[in-house]
Chain A
Amino acid sequence: MNLYAVKAIYSFEMSRAVRTLMQSIVSPVLSTSLYFIVFGAAIGTRIAEIDGIAYGAFIVPGLIMLQLLTQSISNAAFGIYFPRFTGTIYELLSAPVSPLEIVLGFVGAAATKSIVLGLIILATAALFVDLHIAHPIWMLTFLVLTAITFSLFGFIIGIWADGFEKLQIIPLLIITPLTFLGGTFYSIDMLPPFWQKVTLFNPVVYLVSGFRWSFFGVSDVNIYASLGATLAFLLLSLLIVWRIFKTGYRLKT
Chain B
Amino acid sequence: MSAIISIKNLSKTYAGGFQALKHVDLDIRRGEIFALLGPNGAGKTTLISIICGLVNPTTGSVTVDGSDIIKDYRRVRAMIGLVPQELTTDHFETVFNAVAFSRGLFGKAPNPAYIEKILRSLSLWEKKDNRIMTLSGGMKRRLMIAKALSHEPTVLFLDEPSAGVDVELRKDMWQVVRDLRAAGVTIILTTHYLEEAEEMADRVGVITRGELILVEDKAELMRKLGKKQLILQLDAALTGLPERLSGYDLELSPDGKQLTFTYDTRAGRTGITALLNDMRDAGVGFVDLDTTQSSLEDIFVDLVRSNR
Name A residues whose Cβ lies closer than 8 Å to a Cβ of B.
Answer: 2, 4-5, 7-9, 12, 15-16, 19, 83, 86-88, 90-98, 248, 252-253
Closest residue on chain B to residue A1 by CB atoms: B107
Among A83, A92, A253, max chain B CB count under 10 A is at: A253
Apart from A87-B88, A96-B106, what 14 extra A-B contacts exist at CB < 8 Å?
A: A4-B109, A5-B105, A12-B101, A87-B86, A90-B54, A90-B82, A91-B102, A92-B105, A95-B105, A95-B106, A96-B76, A96-B77, A96-B78, A252-B56
Q: Is the interface of A mostly helix, strand, loop or mixed?
A: helix
> Does residue B242 face the partner (Cβ distance < 8 Å to A)?
no
B230 CB to nearest A CB, Å: 49
Q: Which of A9, A15, A94 contacts B77 (CB 8 A)?
A: A94
B118 CB to nearest A CB, Å: 16
Q: Which of B14, B82, B90 contacts A94 (CB 8 A)?
A: B82
Among B77, B102, B107, B110, max chain A CB count under 10 A is at: B107
Closest residue on chain B to residue A102 by CB atoms: B105
Closest residue on chain B to residue A8 by CB atoms: B104
Q: Are B15 and A94 in contact (CB under 8 A)?
A: no
Contact partners of A86 in chain B: CB under 8 A: 88-90
In whole angstroms, what is the CA distance A5 to B102 when docked? 9
Q: Are A4 and B108 in contact (CB under 8 A)?
A: yes
Q: Are B104 and A19 in contact (CB under 8 A)?
A: no
Give residues of chain B (68-105) contacting chain A, Cβ–Cβ below 8 Å.
73-78, 80, 82, 84, 86, 88-90, 92-93, 97, 100-105
Contacts across chains A and B counted by CB atoms under 8 Å? 77
Contact partners of B77 in chain A: CB under 8 A: 94-96
A248 CB to nearest B CB, Å: 6
Q: Which of B14, B73, B78, B82 contacts A253 (CB 8 A)?
A: B14
Contact partners of A15 in chain B: CB under 8 A: 97
Interface residues of B, count at CB 8 A: 35
Q: Are A94 and B107 in contact (CB under 8 A)?
A: no
Contact with A along B143-168 (1 / 0, CB 8 A): 00001000000000000000000000
Contact partners of A90 in chain B: CB under 8 A: 54, 82, 84, 88
Q: Are A91 and B55 in contact (CB under 8 A)?
A: no
> Does residue B66 face the partner (Cβ distance < 8 Å to A)?
no
29 A-B pairs whose Cβ atoms sit less than 8 Å apart in the complex: A2-B107, A4-B103, A4-B105, A4-B106, A4-B107, A5-B106, A7-B104, A8-B103, A9-B105, A12-B101, A15-B97, A16-B92, A86-B88, A87-B88, A88-B89, A90-B54, A92-B105, A93-B54, A94-B77, A94-B80, A95-B77, A95-B106, A95-B107, A96-B73, A96-B76, A96-B77, A97-B107, A98-B74, A252-B55
Contact partners of A7 in chain B: CB under 8 A: 104
Closest residue on chain B to residue A247 by CB atoms: B56
In whole angstroms, what is the CA distance A7 to B103 when docked? 11
A104 CB to nearest B CB, Å: 13
Q: Are A91 and B56 in contact (CB under 8 A)?
A: no
In whole angstroms, what is the CA distance A208 to B123 when docked? 56
